[in-house]
Chains A and B, each alone.
Chain A
Amino acid sequence: MTKPQLKRELGLLRATMLGVGGAISAGGFATIGYAAGLAGYAIVPVVLVIGFISLLTMLSYAELGTALPLAGGEYTFSKVAFGGFVSFLTGWFEWLSNMFYAALSAMGFAYAIAYLYPQVNIPFIAVLVVIIFAFVNLKGVKETGTAEAVITIIVLVILGVFVLGGWSYAQGTQVSHPPFPVGIIGIFTAASFLFDLYLGGEAVAASQAEIKNPGRNIPRAIVISGILLIALYTSVIAIAVGVVPPAVLMEQTSPIAFVAEQAMGPVGGILVTIGLAIAGLAATNEAIMAQSRVLYAMGRDGYLPKMLCKIHRHFSTPYIAVVVCAVFTALFTATGLVNFVVYAVNLGFIIGFSIVNLSLIKLRKTAPHLDRPFKVPLYPFMPLAGLATCAFLVFFIEPSVIILGLELSIVAVLVYYIRMVGYHRIRIALGGVSLGLGVFAAFAAYLLGTNSIVLPDVAPSVSTLIFGFLIFISIVEVLGGLLNIMASDK
Chain B
Amino acid sequence: METRKTLLKIVGLMQTVIGGLSIVFAFLAFYNIFSIQTMLGTTVVDIGFYLWVFVIAGILSTISGLFLIYEQSRVGNHD
Contact surface of A with B, Cβ cutoff 8 Å: 400, 403, 407, 410-411, 414, 418, 426-427, 430-431, 433-434, 437, 454-458, 473, 476-477, 479-481, 483-484, 487
Contacts and interface: CB of A to CB of B under 8 A. Distances in A.
Contacts of A454: 41
Interface residues of B, number: 26
B68 A484 contact: yes
Contacts of B15: 434, 476-477, 480
11 contacts: A411-B59, A434-B15, A455-B39, A457-B35, A457-B38, A479-B11, A480-B14, A480-B15, A480-B61, A484-B67, A487-B71
A454 to B, nearest CB: 8
A433 B64 contact: yes
Residue among B39, B64, B67 with the most chain A CB within 10 A? B64
A364 B43 CA distance: 52
B11 A480 contact: yes
Contacts of B56: 410-411
Contact of B64 (A400, A403, A456, A480): A480
Residue among A426, A427, A456, A480 with the most chain B CB within 10 A? A480
A414 B64 CA distance: 12
B41 A403 contact: no
A484 B35 CA distance: 37
A437 B60 contact: yes
A455 B63 contact: no
A126 to B, nearest CB: 19
Contacts of A484: 64, 67-68
Nearest to A462: B39
The 8 closest A-B pairs by CB, nearest first: A456-B41, A480-B15, A430-B64, A476-B14, A434-B64, A479-B11, A480-B11, A433-B60
Interface in B60-77: 60-61, 63-65, 67-68, 71
Given A411-B59, A414-B59, A414-B60, 11 more contacts: A403-B48, A426-B67, A430-B67, A437-B57, A456-B38, A457-B35, A458-B39, A480-B12, A480-B14, A484-B67, A487-B71
